[in-house]
Amino acid sequence: MLSTQFDSLRATYSYLSDEQWMRYAGMFQRIEVPTKTILLREGDVAKKAFYIEQGCLRVGFNNKGRDTTFQFFFEGQGLSSIESFRKNIPSFFTIEAIEPCILYAISKKDLNTIFKELDQYKQYHEKFIDFAFGRQLHYMREFLSFVKDTPAERYANLLKDHPHIVQRVPQQYIASYLGITSVSLSRIKGRLMKATGAIQKKKQ
């Protein structure tokens, strides 16, 4: 049985017939994985793509012996190691569950079947292009932030723009995502709390 979250995709691809939708949906395998499950290891070739029904996945890589977090993905998002998945080359990063997750996995063969059959739909291409460029813009903004912002500014931006990450992701992964140590992150959070407290006192 399909989930409410997964079945909500039906509205996005409303131009599909019910028969097409059920056939495509049947190509996905529902899996449940515990925290710290490695779905793809850096250096391996990606064989599957994932849609997140529940939970959080972390994308990271080994940076000269240091585990570095690149991105987080949550409910309603899909991911794979795109270049590895498409070109059968080793993945540049690892995909790990950092919460208990319910996922829908699909093989490259089945996904290619869907892509080939949907090639006739102009609406599909427009949605895909919007999605692709949207992610590119997101990564460009993150790159600019790492170049021009201090770690404290990056954390403040994270609080403002993506508070769900701060609420749900363990501190060591947030620190890795910001490019700092957990100790440095604790200091930044402490200073931010003091500054917030001082501002509130002035308003009283």
Q: Is residue 147 part of a domain?
A: no
Q: Is residue 33 part of a domain?
A: yes
> Of 6 and 27, which is predicted with more confidence?
27
> Of 129 and 184, which is predicted with more confidence?
184
Q: 28 lies in which domain range?
A: 4-120
49-108 pLDDT tens trace: 898 999 999 999 998 888 889 889 899 888 888 888 888 999 999 999 999 999 999 999
Q: Could you please report the per-residue DSSP string of 89-126?
A: -B-SSEEEESS-EEEEEEEHHHHHHHHHHHTT-HHHHH
* Reported confidence tier of residue 114, pLDDT bands at 50, 70, 90: confident
Tokens of 189: 């959070």
Averaged pLDDT for residues 20-39: 93
Domains held by the chain: number: 1
End-to-end Cα, the chain, rounded Å: 55
125-165 pLDDT tens trace: 555 545 544 554 566 566 666 657 888 888 988 899 889 99
The structure tokens 């949550």 sit at 74
Q: What is the pLDDT of residue 11?
A: 75
Residue type, 187: R
Q: What is the CATH number of the domain that holds 93?
A: 2.60.120.10
Q: Is residue 155 part of a domain?
A: no
| Other Cβ atoms within 10 Å of 13 Cβ, number | 16
